[in-house]
Structure 1
Amino acid sequence: MTAKPETIIISSAGRRLYLIDWFREAFAALDIEGRVVVAENDPTSSSASYGDVGRSLPKYDDPDYGRELMSLVAEFDAKILISANDYELIHVHVNSGLANSLRETGVLVPGVSAAWQAGCADKLQMAQMLAAIEVPTPATVSGADDQGIDELSARADEFVVKHRFGSGSSGLRVVSADQVRQAVTEAALSAPAAGGHPGTRDDVVVQSKLPGAEYGVDIIGSLTDGGMLSGVLARRKVRMRAGETDKAVTVDAAPFARISELIAGASDLTGLIDVDVFVDDFGEASVIDINPRFGGGYPFVHLAGADVPLYYLSQAFDIEVDECWNKYELGVVSAKYESIRVTGQV
């Protein structure tokens, strides 16, 4: 009987075809016969037919989603489940308990604790959680907190207004003090809300705009020992497009080591999370956002030599690898470009 290939599942990969390729390359580097199963709810998405196996899953909020996901994992005896969708992650880690159910069967599900997953989805709560562990973050108030907005206005000249429960840079505007309330009202019209109700001012946050340059930092924790920091990767953002890093240059991650250790420990981190950081002229780093998944900035460090997919597989299959996976060349500038592939026919 031919042995089944080892399997990982990537759900909601979307446009991240490179991530599928890099896991394939990691299987080859470790001399493991492996396959990447891609699960999507849209059979014509860019990634749906790109995996070694493609499967359809209901959307995360469908009543059948949990049963279908558990069945898919069992069918392929998957060792790792990865999702690249913020809202799916909230469902898996917080709303349904699926992450813990899968872990009880031996499946590795990278992420953070349920409390931190919920906090990462709520920018007001996230700011409070970061402040509680003494990680610098901009002063943040609800768009409905008039007193809080007045207090911020007395201390700063420019402000960031964005969706409280948004993904990417949803609703983002940079405004002056006299424009804040109008910007909040306008942002509320398109704001995703926690309970599915129409957006309100409370579904928007206002932050002091930070000075300095913006960086993307990947914080990587052990997949098998929650909260144990394994690596930190960093790049300075040169250009943004549609809320995602479009061009970046790799930099030394040492300045971000302390905040990475604090976040990893407090969040019970396993695997990779993508963190947005501003660094001022004095070298002070402040966290402005956390995406508990592979973010759009990871490719910049991978192309410079880092290899988190290799680390994931080494952990899943108990294969020792040296520390080369979190080493990369500094000063490498990379830029994204467009491509296209046929995904179906009607």
Structure 2
Amino acid sequence: MGDGGAMVIGSAGRRLYLVDWFRQAYESLGLEGRVIVTENDSTSAAAGYGDIGRRLPRYADPDYGPALLALVDELRPSLFLSVNDYELMHLHVATDLAEQMRERGVLVPGVDRAWQLGCADKLRMAQLLEGIGVPTPRTVAGDDEACIAEIAEASDLLVVKHRLGSGSSGLALVGADGVRAAVDAAIASAPAPADGSAPSGQDVVVQPCLPGVEHGVDLVADLREPGALRAVLARRKMRMRAGETDKAASADPAPFVANAERIARAAQLTGLVDTDMFLDEGGEPSVIDINPRFGGGYPFVHLAGADVPRFYLARALGLEVGEEWREYAPGVVSAKHESVRVTSTGL
């Protein structure tokens, strides 16, 4: 086998399958490569699971950046990806660390700064989507009483959630008579604003609950040509658990392609973003969320035949890759299950 060098998965947490699938991708390309896992918590499930494991300071620690760049200079990975929303914000928005890694020859998938900010802010995201003509539910702040009343008049069920939350943070589904109490509860549990003030209605959003069937849809763009969409991978959600897809069936991506092309182009996407879309009875999709990373729904298309890790490594290493990596069978139902591993002894 040839030398495939190394790649990094940051904050892998519980997603040991990503480590396995990147290892398998190296093998399928006929390469010996190392999967490096970086974690803040040395006892997390993934911390000792990589071929190389490194503990980094928390992303907000001043020592994080120097430690990350020292790791890159030492191990010279061809690819760096993170599956942690807060680490991604630090890399792409709060600092120029993503760009510094790119200057060192590392591919760092992601979206441009405006869309990275939008992915963390549900109100901003709705505005970005509306601006490029992608259908999305009307989204208003929790203190906009007039607009909330208009939404309640037109929809039997409303969605209340944290504006800056990750996953399903603060989520409640309520009727018009319960929206005020739900907003107050969401404010009480919302993350504190960066300026240190108390959370307010501006830290909560309200939307109509869309009709139709919820799908998870991965948009995969080229890693070297920003905005060039290469694949759309879809699954129909069948069961959720703790804000993450727990059971799903792989699905036809065709209804989601037009939205995917607009988003990839506008966001100057490289690599994969995980989106949530509702498909109504007429076959029209609406986007409700975007996460600029491998999400918890990717396994349901990988197990049906797709292989994004293979595509990532091939593009990072300048190898030819056919179309097989994006092909998968529809109607394959997969479900997550529990597992456990020892991560430390003698504490």
TM-score of the pair, normalised by structure 1: 0.98
Aligned to 2:245: 245
Aligned to 2:41: 42
Instruction: Say whether residues 1:293 and 2:316 are aligned partners.
Output: no
Using the TM superposition, give the Cα deviation of residue 150 of structure 1 relative to its aligned residue in structure 2, in angstroms: 1.7
Aligned to 1:267: 267
Cα distance per residue 1:88-113 (max 9 Å; x no partner): 10110111111112112211101100
Instruction: Say whether residues 1:185 and 2:184 are aligned partners.
Output: yes
Using the TM superposition, give the Cα deviation of residue 38 of structure 1 relative to its aligned residue in structure 2, in angstroms: 0.3
Work out the CA distance in 1 between the residues paired with 2:74 and 2:201: 45
Work out the CA distance in 2 between the residues paired with 1:215 and 1:197: 36
Using the TM superposition, give the Cα deviation of residue 4 of structure 1 relative to its aligned residue in structure 2, in angstroms: 7.2
Matches within 5 A, 1:77-156: 77-156=76-155
Cα distance per residue 1:177-231 (max 9 Å; x no partner): 1111110110111112441543222111000110010000000000000000010
Aligned to 2:339: 339
* Maintained 8 Å contact 2:4/2:317: no
Read off the aligned partner of 2:171 and give its amino acid letter: L
Paired residue secondary structure (2:71): helix
Number of residue pairs the alignment of both structures matches: 344
Using the TM superposition, give the Cα deviation of residue 5 of structure 1 relative to its aligned residue in structure 2, in angstroms: 5.5
* Maintained 8 Å contact 1:165/1:193: no
* Maintained 8 Å contact 1:165/1:194: no
* Maintained 8 Å contact 2:211/2:280: yes
Aligned CA-pair RMSD: 1.1
Aligned to 1:203: 203
Q: Which runs of 5+ in 1 are unaligned?
A: none
Read off the aligned partner of 1:211 and give its amino acid letter: P
Cα distance per residue 1:10-60 (max 9 Å; x no partner): 010000000000000000111111000100000000000000000001111
Q: Which runs of 5+ in 2 are unaligned?
A: none
Work out the CA distance in 1 between the residues paired with 2:73 and 2:312: 20
Using the TM superposition, give the Cα deviation of residue 146 of structure 1 relative to its aligned residue in structure 2, in angstroms: 1.4
Using the TM superposition, give the Cα deviation of residue 154 of structure 1 relative to its aligned residue in structure 2, in angstroms: 2.2
Instruction: Say whether residues 1:324 and 2:294 are aligned partners.
Output: no
* Maintained 8 Å contact 1:38/1:50: yes
Read off the aligned partner of 1:78 and give its amino acid letter: P
Cα distance per residue 1:253-275 (max 9 Å; x no partner): 01111000000000000000000
Matches within 5 A, 1:14-53: 14-53=13-52
Greater mean deviation of Cα atoms: 269-278 or 103-112: 103-112
Work out the CA distance in 1 between the residues paired with 2:332 and 2:151: 38
Aligned to 2:9: 10
Aligned to 1:230: 230
Using the TM superposition, give the Cα deviation of residue 284 of structure 1 relative to its aligned residue in structure 2, in angstroms: 1.1
Work out the CA distance in 1 between the residues paired with 2:5 and 2:73: 13
TM-score of the pair, normalised by structure 2: 0.97
Aligned to 2:277: 277
Instruction: Say whether residues 1:218 and 2:222 are aligned partners.
Output: no
Work out the CA distance in 2 between the residues paired with 1:234 and 1:173: 25
Greater mean deviation of Cα atoms: 161-170 or 189-198: 189-198
Runs of 4+ more than 4 Å apart:
none
* Maintained 8 Å contact 1:168/1:244: yes
* Maintained 8 Å contact 1:141/1:206: yes
Work out the CA distance in 2 between the residues paired with 1:296 and 1:4: 30
Identity %: 60
Work out the CA distance in 2 between the residues paired with 1:104 and 1:130: 30
Cα distance per residue 1:62-104 (max 9 Å; x no partner): 1111111111111100111110000110110111111112112
Work out the CA distance in 2 between the residues paired with 1:147 and 1:310: 50
Matches within 5 A, 1:65-80: 65-80=64-79
Instruction: Say whether residues 1:171 and 2:176 are aligned partners.
Output: no
Cα distance per residue 1:130-151 (max 9 Å; x no partner): 0000000000000011122122
Aligned to 2:314: 314
Work out the CA distance in 2 between the residues paired with 1:285 and 1:315: 30
